[in-house]
Amino acid sequence: MSESIDPTLFRETLGNYPTGVAVVTTLTEDGAPDGMVVGTFSSVSLDPPLVAFFPAKNSKSFERLRNATSFCVNVLAADQEPLCRRIATVWEGKFDGVQWRPGPLGSPILDSAVSWVECTFEEVREAGDHYVVLGRVHALGVQRPTLPLLFFQGGYGRFSPRSFIAAPEPELIQAAQLAEGLRVPIEELSAELGVNCGVLAKVGTDAVQVLASDRNPSTEAFALGHRQPIIPPLGAVFMVTSTPEEVDEWLGRVPPGAPDRQEVHRAVLEKVRERGYSLLAVDSELLQRHGAALTEFEQSDRLPRHERAVREVTAELADLFCPDLVPGERYDPASIVVLIPTTADLPPMALRMTGLPQSATTEQIESWVERLKQVAESVVAS
Ligand SMILES: Cc1cc2nc3c(=O)[nH]c(=O)nc-3n(C[C@H](O)[C@H](O)[C@H](O)COP(=O)(O)O)c2cc1C
């Protein structure tokens, strides 16, 4: 690399240019699909019809792909992030369970791809530490006209057309209506204890505050509509009733580079499952950093690099979750959360208490948990 260009600046600057995500597939001699994920797919020429992508010279996957006589570029859909991650990282069995059919030249067309472009290799040219692969297009088509997967600042996302702003999530309205039914007992509870209580609904991968009753003016309360990405250990209460696949997806949201944290989060989830509530202890410095990262994330239009910062600081909270309460000891609780039992047609919901008195005894905390559970369970009766 030229001495005058800093590699981090190069990556960061170019990472601000969004790309689509495609899987370049070929058929192995054994008749099985092989492939690699590329963000560098591009249209080049109509006459003659040429496309391009840029594999790294050290790519082992491309070393295999280039021996094929043809290849197919499969454009991934917005809901195919898990498949993308798998093909980009897994070495063996990348395509296990993936449905495909051979294109006119025999290269695999993935059933779930938005569109496909089947090519022969026109030219493979060196360009620095990458190759420029020019493909001569032989056949192509759009087979699933849906939103494509996008990659930007190292994170995945989707296109949102300005002129067709989606209606607000319908689950939010249902959740707010259900929470309204709990308003009276929640207001009574927050007044009785002088604390802040709120109802959270799980909408997609966020927890959204749909009801607030704040009676502790000395602590900052969460506003109505406040959104927090559910990143482990946060949201453990919601995971108690989730499928194993949803739990794996939740655990997958921990920052890369901290795989051992997954076990810590799993242990937190087991404690929450056994006890029926989650308790977060106070660490002012960490909670302040968490709050600051969240604010920056929200103010930045939820950009991927701010999301990464939130993920990193959230993962650190695990050590503050669910301490074992010893009779007679005192604790500084930051929040207690219990699940609100809802039917399958409603979003998962939870009741959270914050602004709690500090230096609380185990017995006090246990009595608050019981009161929260009573209120949460009154939704079944109502
Ligand atoms: C969104 C995304 C875009 C990528 N784009 C490219 C690309 O354009 N060129 C490339 O060589 N690798 C790209 N990669 C990396 C490869 O897909 C793959 O992870 C890498 O090649 C794995 O190493 P291997 O080729 O030695 O198996 C991309 C990965 C992701 C997740």
224-276 residue pLDDT tens: 888 888 999 999 999 998 899 899 989 988 877 666 778 889 999 999 999 99
Please give the Cα distance from 184 to 187 (Å, whole number).
5
Strands 333-340 and 278-281: antiparallel
Q: How many residues does the chain have?
A: 382
* Start-to-end Cα distance in the chain: 67
Domains of the chain: 7-164 (2.30.110.10), 170-281+319-381 (3.30.450.40)
Q: How far is CA 81 from the centre of its chain?
A: 10
Q: What is the SS3 string spanning 42-105?
A: EEEECCCCEEEECCECCCHHHHHHCCCCEEEEEECEHHHHHHHHHHHHCCCCCCCCCCEEECCC
The one-character DSSP state at 164 is G
Q: Provide CB contacts within 8 A for 233, sequence distance 6+.
A: 264, 265, 268, 269, 278, 314, 315, 317, 318, 321
Report CA(38)–ligand 1 centroid distance (Å). 5
- β-sheet bridge partners, residue 281: 333
Nearest CA to ligand 1 atom 23: 59
Check pocket membership of 56 for ligand 1, CB cut-off 6 A: yes
Q: What percent of the chain has pLDDT over 90?
A: 71
Beta-carbon count within 10 A of 91 CB: 7
Nearest CA to ligand 1 atom 19: 88
pTM comes to 0.68
CA of 41 to the centre of ligand 1 (A): 11
CA–CA separation, 51 and 379 (whole Å): 58
Q: What is the pLDDT of residues 337-359, one digit of tens each?
A: 999 998 888 889 999 999 999 99
Return the minimum-mean-pLDDT range out of 125-129, 157-161, 195-199, 349-353: 157-161
Q: Give the Å distance between the CA of 5 and the centre of ligand 1.
A: 22
Residue 201 · residue 207 · CB < 8 Å? yes
**Ligand 1 atom 10 nearest Cα:** 55
265, containing H or E segment: helix 261-275
Q: Is 21 in the pocket of ligand 1 (CB under 6 A)?
A: yes
Q: Check if the beta carbon of residue 55 is closer than 8 Å to that of residue 38.
A: yes
pLDDT band at residue 10, thresholds of 50, 70 and 90? very high
Is the C-beta atom of 133 inside 6 A of ligand 1?
A: no
Contacts of residue 219, defined as CB under 8 A and 6 or more positions apart, other chains included, come to: 196, 354, 355
Which ligand 1 atom lies nearest to the CA of residue 63? Answer: 25
> CA 120, CA 133: separation in Å to the nearest integer?
10
Is 76 touching ligand 1 by the criterion CB < 6 Å?
no
- Order of strands across the sheet with 149-152? 19-20, 149-152, 155-158
